[in-house]
Amino acid sequence: MGLLCSKNRHYTDADTEENAQAAEIERRIEQETKAEKHIQKLLLLGAGESGKSTIFKQIKLLFQTGFDEAELKSYVSVIDANIYQAIKILYDGSKEFAQSVDSSKYVLSGENKVIGEKLSDIGSRFDYPRLNRELAEEIGYLWKDPAIQETYARGNELQVPDCTHYFMENLQRLSDANYVPTKEDVLYARVRTTGVVEIQFSPVGENKKSGEVYRLFDVGGQRNERRKWIHLFEGVTAVIFCAAINEYDQTLFEDEQKNRMMETKELFDWVLKQPCFEKTSFMLFLNKFDIFETKVLTVPLNVCEWFKDYQPVSTGKQEIEHAYKYIKKKFEELYFQSTAPDRVDRVFKVYRTTALDQKVVKKTFKLVDETLRRRNLFEAGLL
Amino acid sequence: MPMYQPSTRREADMKLDSQVLDLETAVKDGILGGGCGVISTGFASQKLDLKIMIEELESIDVPTVFICPISLEPMQDPVTLCTGQTYERSNILKWFSLGRCTCPTTMQELWDDSVTPNKTLQQLIFSWFSHKYLAMKKRSEDVQGRVKEILENLKKVKGQARVQALKELRQVVQTHGTVKKTVVENGGVALISSLLGPFTTHAVGSEVIGVLVNLNLDSNSKSDLLQPAKISLMVDILNEGSIETKINCTKLIRVLMEGNDFASENVASLSLLVGLLRLVKDKKHQNGVLAGLSLLKVICSHESIRNSFVNVGAVPQLVELMPELNNECLELVLYLLELLSNIPEGRLALKDCPNTIPNVVKLLMKASESCMQFALSILWTICKFAPEECASLALDAGLAAKLLLVIQSGCNPVLKQRSAELLKLCSLNYTATIFISKCNLTRTIQ
């Protein structure tokens, strides 16, 4: 009897404990689901090299704890890789151009040719050596060779990364034995994003407890990456679509026959028509304005088919503004063409950005945040 | 103006009703004598000041005892008749010159035609006005001083403080019209315009626009505000703001565009057109509808814009609006649709929209003549464009009967002529009998 009794008690004890645990788990799940509802999902979309990851890094720097020393150091190998890849592309490019008309421009000096071959070889390996003083000097000579500079001027025909100039001008610093990348170096560092990366943050403004929680997703922009996008499309508060406006004379990394701006146009159109985005706000970041500014005065916009009816009106700053306005108008037209009447009440705003400039990104995000908060209030009927 | 009633005045005479002239305050403020140093010398100088003060204090509530019963204006030279009633001298003399020997209010025959100047009342009136005038001037100076303070403040503060300062500025400008000049004279326009830029928050931008819309802007200020970045901001704010903000933006953009032919090209973006369409569809806010339509009228005076306007689906949206509009708005909508009917895309859109013909036909004979003119023009254009389709639709909607009514009515001859032409156009495809049967005419008209 006693045995029985004690056995029973043992079971009921276990039961209650299990019940308590189950209840606790239930409660936790409920809490988290509730919390999830208040988290606003932001998606960074856009073609490859449009600046999505740079924006992502900027948000990390602005609203999270930024990069610690270990993280900064982790970028050294990335930066090295960028440098080797860039110089290889330029050297190989010069050889290609040397075979066409006007070839003498692209022929290097004897010494530099040797350097070029050596670096090209390094650049084709999987493992790159750490950049040291000697290599940095050699790369520097090669970079300054007139043939390479001529090749760089035609960089739009090759796949020269945007960070090339910046890193080439800083070779000495970057090759130092104790080099720790600065925040700026990290922003310039280019890694092709694959898969999806996310961070969660709360923008801290004047009134510290703004209460908004955002979850920002960064994706790969190249074509083969885009099939992963669809998994993220549910319940998105806002899409931040990045379009690099300097790319109107460049071709895709993954398809050298296709103009980058045309690709962006088609991509934007496709995204706008996605069924899940019926009520999603669209923030269009017309990015890389800094590069655009210099390019637009020398390379006419109408080399891109989409911009073929563009007429320049003046020079200098006025012309830059005029060209920018034209592009903005084109994107607006595209937006309204691709937006069915039932979606016309979506928020759609266009921002001029230079993702590398932290101040610009901070101010821009402040406006994005304000718009989204107002939208929330509006939908809750409080505005 | 206070309503004059003889009986009340008599009582006021006896009681000096507190609502009419507050004796207590009058004594305290020295109106009834003593302290007020403004009660100065010289009959002539008194008169001059009084006239100006009365003019400047136009909207104030003047005590009834100061009002001349004939002109209902404050008296500057009150004279009393033998009946004891007081009038403005010039007015009562004019009365007498018409050959009347009666007291206008009591209707009594005058036994004595002399007029006695009522010095006491004159002093009282002068005193009262002086007091009110000084108080107003002081308040005005106070407010002007406050505005200058706010403007100085705006040069320094940022963030929430800036928003607050702008809110206060807007409230002051809206309630005290006199400070508008002060704002303009102290560089206020340039100052707050400089706050508008690509990174301006909605909170700041909407307040700035709220202030600017109340001020008189010179051409330099307008050119400055027409910069693309600022216009772009205004359009964004229009799209996101409260109804009050939307209306302010609309009005401001309109002011900027008026008289400036080049402005349309730069200002009328697709976002603006879509935003304005949204505004005019908001039935709950009629003044928004009017403001939006007025701006659309200004914008569409530019041909290139009309195409874009049709492309954003303006035609069906405007047609849907028509039945519930008041006359003023209806005229604007018809004006716009008529403009659009003159371009191929617009014509097509009008034809394709199923409600165009029914809605337009319905309003014939109900609306003003200018509305009818536009309506007839629109019907003419689409019927000419696609006679088979449109003529039968129009007739089904009862067009023929309406046109006949117009022709027989007292409208101006141009309208009658157009109606006749339209009727003829619609009848072209039918024989006489079929046409008449299609018209569903009542016996009498037949």
Tokens of A180: 């720790």
**A363 carries a ligand binding annotation:** no
The yes-or-no verdict on residue A238 having pLDDT over 90 is yes
What is the per-residue pLDDT for B404? 80
Give B424 or B273, the one with higher predicted confidence: B273
**A162 carries a ligand binding annotation:** yes
Chain B CB contacts of A374 under 8 Å are 202, 240
The whole-angstrom distance between B432's CA and the closest CA on chain A is 43
Picking from B138, B122, B154, the residue whose alpha carbon sits closest to that of residue B54 is B122
Looking at chain B, the whole-number percentage of residues with pLDDT higher than 90 is: 27
The whole-angstrom distance between B132's CA and the closest CA on chain A is 42
What is the per-residue pLDDT for B15? 44
List strands edge to edge, sheet with B78-80.
Answer: B86-88, B78-80, B116-117
**Whether A190 is catalytic:** yes
Closest chain A CA to residue B312: A336
Chain A CB contacts of B271 under 8 Å are 332, 348
Rounded to whole angstroms, how far apart are CA atoms A328 and A330? Answer: 5
**A364 carries a ligand binding annotation:** no
Per the CB < 8 Å rule, is B311 touching A336? Answer: yes
The yes-or-no verdict on residue B8 having pLDDT over 80 is no
| Mean of pLDDT over chain B | 82
Tokens of A123: 């650049």
Q: Which of A12-16, A295-299, B106-110 is the least confident region? A: A12-16
pLDDT digits (tens, 9 = 90+) for B314-331: 898 998 888 888 888 899
Rounded to whole angstroms, how far apart are CA atoms B266 and B283? Answer: 29
Between A and B, how many residue pairs show a Cβ–Cβ distance under 8 A? 41
Q: Are the beta carbons of A196 and A226 closer than 8 angstroms? A: no
The SS3 assignment for B356 reads helix
The yes-or-no verdict on residue A351 having pLDDT over 90 is yes
**A51 carries a ligand binding annotation:** yes
**A191 carries a ligand binding annotation:** yes
**A54 carries a ligand binding annotation:** yes
Per the CB < 8 Å rule, is A206 touching B159? Answer: yes
Start-to-end C-alpha separation, chain A: 71
- Chain A window 178-207: which residues touch B at a Cβ cutoff of 8 Å? 206-207
Looking at chain A, the whole-number percentage of residues with pLDDT higher than 90 is: 43
- Chain B window 295-324: which residues touch A at a Cβ cutoff of 8 Å? 311-313
Phi, psi for residue B253 in degrees, rounded to 5: -60, -40
Active-site annotation holder among A159, A182, A222, A371: A222
Per the CB < 8 Å rule, is B274 touching A336? Answer: yes
Give B25 or B6, the one with higher predicted confidence: B25
Active-site annotation holder among A40, A54, A58, A354: A54
Pairs from B328-333 (Cβ < 8 Å, separation ≥ 24): B328/B290, B329/B286, B329/B289, B329/B290, B329/B293, B330/B363, B330/B367, B330/B371, B331/B367, B331/B368, B331/B370, B331/B371, B331/B374, B332/B290, B332/B293, B332/B294, B332/B296, B332/B297, B333/B293
Q: Are the beta carbons of A286 and B198 closer than 8 angstroms? A: no
- Chain A window 262-301: which residues touch B at a Cβ cutoff of 8 Å? none
The whole-angstrom distance between B362's CA and the closest CA on chain A is 27
What is the per-residue pLDDT for A339? 87
- Do the strands B116-117 and B78-80 form a parallel or antiparallel pair, or are they unpaired? antiparallel
Of A345, A349, A366, Cβ closest to residue B236: A349
- Do the strands A348-352 and B78-80 form a parallel or antiparallel pair, or are they unpaired? unpaired
**Whether A127 is catalytic:** no
Per the CB < 8 Å rule, is A333 touching B278? Answer: no
Of A332, A347, A351, Cβ closest to residue B270: A332
pLDDT digits (tens, 9 = 90+) for B9-49: 444 444 444 345 666 666 666 666 544 444 443 444 455 57
What is the per-residue pLDDT for A256? 87
Q: Are the beta carbons of A136 and A171 closer than 8 angstroms? A: yes
pLDDT digits (tens, 9 = 90+) for B379-417: 888 888 887 777 777 777 778 778 888 787 777 888 888
Per the CB < 8 Å rule, is B312 touching A364? Answer: no
Instruction: Answer yes or no: is the ipTM higher than 0.85.
Output: no
**A52 carries a ligand binding annotation:** yes
- The residues, ordered by sequence, that sit 6+ positions from A268 with a Cβ below 8 Å of its Cβ are A241, A243, A284, A331, A334, A335, A338
The answer to whether B262 contacts chain A (CB < 8 Å) is no
What is the per-residue pLDDT for B20? 56
Tell the residue number behind the tokens 């276990």, with chain if given: A14
Burial class of residue A8, CB neighbours in 10 A (0-12, 13-18, 19+): exposed
Burial class of residue A79, CB neighbours in 10 A (0-12, 13-18, 19+): buried
The whole-angstrom distance between B57's CA and the closest CA on chain A is 40
Rounded to whole angstroms, how far apart are CA atoms A254 and A261? Answer: 14
Picking from B342, B328, B335, B433, the residue whose alpha carbon sits closest to that of residue B381 is B342
Rounded to whole angstroms, how far apart are CA atoms A29 and A32? Answer: 5
The whole-angstrom distance between B322's CA and the closest CA on chain A is 19
The whole-angstrom distance between B391's CA and the closest CA on chain A is 29
**A219 carries a ligand binding annotation:** yes
Q: Where are the alpha helices (DSSP H) in chain A?
A: 2-38, 52-63, 69-74, 76-98, 110-123, 133-144, 146-153, 164-168, 171-174, 183-188, 260-272, 289-295, 316-337, 358-379
**Whether A49 is catalytic:** yes
The answer to whether B242 contacts chain A (CB < 8 Å) is yes
Active-site annotation holder among A80, A190, A250, A280: A190
Instruction: Give the mutation candidate from B162, B230, B236 for the A interface (greatest A CB count, under 10 A).
Output: B236
Instruction: Give the mutation candidate from B274, B276, B309 for the A interface (greatest A CB count, under 10 A).
Output: B274
Return the CA Rg of chain B. 32
Q: Which strand (E) or helix (H) includes residue A45?
A: strand A39-46
Rounded to whole angstroms, how far apart are CA atoms B354 and B79? Answer: 73
DSSP B143-176: HHHHHHHHHHHHTT--HHHHHHHHHHHHHHHHH-
pLDDT digits (tens, 9 = 90+) for B195-214: 998 899 999 999 999 999 99
Q: Are the beta carbons of B292 and B276 closer than 8 angstroms? A: yes
Picking from B317, B297, B287, the residue whose alpha carbon sits closest to that of residue B370 is B297
Chain A CB contacts of B312 under 8 Å are 336
Closest chain A CA to residue B314: A341
Return the CA Rg of chain A. 26
Picking from B31, B62, B46, the residue whose alpha carbon sits closest to that of residue B117 is B46
**Whether A218 is catalytic:** yes
Chain B CB contacts of A321 under 8 Å are 228
Rounded to whole angstroms, how far apart are CA atoms B310 and A255? Answer: 38
Side chain identity at B60, as an amino acid letter? I
The whole-angstrom distance between B199's CA and the closest CA on chain A is 6
Rounded to whole angstroms, how far apart are CA atoms A334 and A324? Answer: 15
Question: From the centroid of its chain, how far is CA A63?
Answer: 17
Per the CB < 8 Å rule, is B198 touching A345? Answer: no
pLDDT digits (tens, 9 = 90+) for B137-167: 887 778 888 888 888 888 988 888 899 999 9
